[in-house]
Amino acid sequence: MDVRDKTILVTGAGRGIGRSLALHFARKGANLALMDTNREGVDETRAQCAEAGVTARSYVANAADEDRVIGALDEVTADFGRLDGLVNNAGIVRDALLVKVKDGQVVGKMTLADWQAVIDVNLTGVFLCAREAAERMIRLASRGVIVNISSISRAGNIGQTNYTAAKAGVAAMTVVWAKELARYGIRVGAVAPGFIRTPMVESMKPEALARMTAPIPLGRLGEPEEIAHAVGFIFENELFSGRCLEVDGGLRM
């Protein structure tokens, strides 16, 4: 897809990878619909996209709230008159061991609240946004592209039962939707980032960050722009569908 003058919706666009995605597409001439729960963040992203000379609008909505997602998608198609792309990027972490043991005693467990919060945003949110976007792309005969942000943690990462389950689900849904939506000319792909320098990662303690970086073969965190570049590749390459691109400096879980 040549993204010039197309309309692309990015969720979680208020900072981190989502902001880089928005700016990547803005610089290529796409108009941006930016969804986030953080009004200040998403308005800043909108302003930065506008500087690139494209139309950008903010939509403050929780990607896990069905009514808000339907409402926001209706607003996007009313505002832009089209929808050509969706990047399902909004995500959260609530890490904990399944069962935490200290000195032979069980001292903690992953709470149901932490399990559910991550499943709601990272799995149900992706489902809701993709469903509503696909419905509108089909109605508008858009032949669009949907890219879901998974994670290399989908293979199974210690402390991330909830996140791993959600991100494995995201990769699996990508395959289903690529098969179901191909007949409408819609391609669906996924990107699984390794560890990327964003507020989500930078909020970690320095020792934890150093422990995390040490096993990366390229010896560094990824940059958000490198993930945006990979998502841009999926948009541009008309043969790409149903696969998950790993962008991780060679790190394997």
Active site residues: 163
Report if residue 189 touches ligand NAP, rule: CB under 6 A. Answer: no
Q: Tell me whether residue 1 or residue 191 sits nearer to ligand NAP (CB atom).
A: 191
Report if residue 145 touches ligand NAP, rule: CB under 6 A. Answer: no
Please give the residues from 74 up to 133 whose contact with ligand NAP meets the rule CB under 6 A.
89-92, 121, 125
Q: Which stretch binds ligand NAP (CB under 6 A): 7-15, 72-80, 133-141, 182-190?
A: 7-15
Report if residue 14 touches ligand NAP, rule: CB under 6 A. Answer: yes
Q: Which stretch binds ligand NAP (CB under 6 A): 8-16, 25-33, 50-58, 100-108?
A: 8-16
Report if residue 249 touches ligand NAP, rule: CB under 6 A. Answer: no
Q: Which stretch binds ligand NAP (CB under 6 A): 31-39, 48-56, 78-86, 138-146?
A: 31-39
Bridge-based pairing state of the strands 85-88 and 56-60: unpaired
Shortest approach of ligand NAP to residue 199 CB, angstroms?
A: 4
**Binding site residues, ligand NAP, CB under 6 A:** 11-12, 14-18, 35-38, 41, 62-64, 89-92, 121, 125, 149, 151, 193, 195-196, 198-201
